[in-house]
Structure 1
Amino acid sequence: MTTSEEITYHVPVLLKESVDGMNIQPDGIYVDVTFGGGGHSKEILSRLGKNGRLLSFDQDEDAEKNIVNDQRFTFVRSNFRYLPNFLKYHQIEQADAILADLGVSSHHFDDSERGFSFRFDGALDMRMNKRSGITAADVVNNYGEKELADIFYLYGELKNSRKLASIIIKERANKKIKTIEEFLTIIKPLFGREREKKELAKVFQALRIEVNHEMEALKEMLLAATEMLKPGGRLVVITYHSLEDRMVKNLMKTGNIEGKQHQDFFGNIQTPYRLITNKVITPNEEEIARNPRSRSAKLRIAEKKLEQ
């Protein structure tokens, strides 16, 4: 049963399927690199014995409100790109499974002060870590036209990325763009009514990825996870858009982010992983009805090979 706390913060996506995929052993060591509302972490703890251990990462101070009071649990307030540093700090050489749910929580989308959603007016912020880094307003006001166009094209897959960048440059010359409402007034005329919401979502996704350096952090975490998993350990990842899904799929199939295949003498692809899921696992209709944001979720599971 979902608690009211989880509903307000984040309804865990593919909860049973992802935690089942971790192959939890009572005395094992596990890592949840995206703690958020704590839904996945609580499920992992419910399957651990008294000697089991769970480390959970989150860089967002709001996530600390959901910390679990359990001696088997350690909360790490940091970006998951620093996974190896903190595992070593907590005297963990390797883990039995690592879980990552890469979705932005409903809590962030529903908090008007964070600037993640075009449904509310507020500051154009979008930082996961409110203590540091540039904001979305910094990006739209300070980046050059080519830089902006590249971000919208690469991270939002927007076909009119150049036009979008051009109009932003033109408008900001008159007045600094500080709020979501000001930003929407500038960009909305570029999108037709029938596809407006989808296109705006892509614009906001692109800015969020740039502000939080999400692709670089994901790449670092995935490569580190390969090193930090025990032989036979599981990597379990839930993705929500094609950019991150491609990285995860490439890593699991080839051992690298780019998807470059290295073959042995017999033509076998050299990879540190064995795929547990040849096909992605997606939410069923019941879960999508309960949590519409789960619609784009894809779950991939791989096991680190015993012999390298």
Structure 2
Amino acid sequence: LGGLAVGALALLTPQVMSSGHGALRFAGIVARPLGFIAGVFALKAVASIISLGSGFRGGLFFATLFMGVLGGRLFAAGVDIAWPGLNLDPNAYAVIGMSALSASVIGGPLTMSFIALESTGNLWLTTAVLVAVIISTTMTRELFGYSFATWRLHLRGESIRSAADIGWIRDLTVGRMMRQDMTTVDAAMPLETFREKFPPGSKTQVVAVDGEGHYAGLAVVAEAHAPDIETDKGLAAILRHADVVLHPAMNVQEAIAVFDAAEAESLAVVEGDGDRRPIGLLTEAHAMRRYAEESEQRRREVIGEV
């Protein structure tokens, strides 16, 4: 058994440790036993995770092509096991898997479709590849936002500008959008005192803080002047969103998600160091307006209006 394990490792190692150029000879790969293909696929995925996670700048292109070929072959085998009568062509699904995974990781869905057409010369297979690429790209955009390659460039500080780029969202932060001219009051203030200090129409809402200056909630002036409010309970009884706050480093999409979850029209922004000291206010309407303005600006840049 030890000799068999060493022999299997010797066979797997060149494919696992290589850059992935073996995908160019996928016909020979898909003819291998399924156990071998599954082993190479798993070990290649682990090797890629370790390599990228360790900070190596190795390329993604051929490694993704190679894993896509293996994944397509395994998919065809799995379908044949579940439905033996289909008899899927492993070579065709190797090309489909190669193109779909590469479009998701690297981007360039049309590029991958043209590569499949040039490699096979089969128009019908290229049509299937195009469908798979569209599905793969759409799922990546919905679940992740952009391709893995674009994400790596964003981590390096590069601002990619393209029709589908959303790197600008990272720069549109809560800290840039919030208002800093907020008014704070002591959360222990009696309600009658609050009414005298903030008559109707003077403010919309006020940020309440505790004795140490930490955020305690939002006080809506109109609610404080409601006739059915019991004044003996103090200001703390009408405070809103005491446990829901925004942080200045959040991007606009994260902020909108917090607004939706809290069903709030405005939220306080607190320092991101865990001290919970309020530093500003942001309304959902302003965040949505800034998001729409930036989206329109990028659209105009793409079509050449700017």
Structure 2-normalised TM-score?
Answer: 0.24
Determine which structure has more spread, i.e. the larger CA radius of gyration. 2
- The structure in which a higher percent of residues are helix is 2
Report the structure, 1 or 2, having the larger strand content. 1
Q: Which structure would you say has the larger RCO, counting Cα contacts within 8 Å and 6 or more residues apart?
A: 1
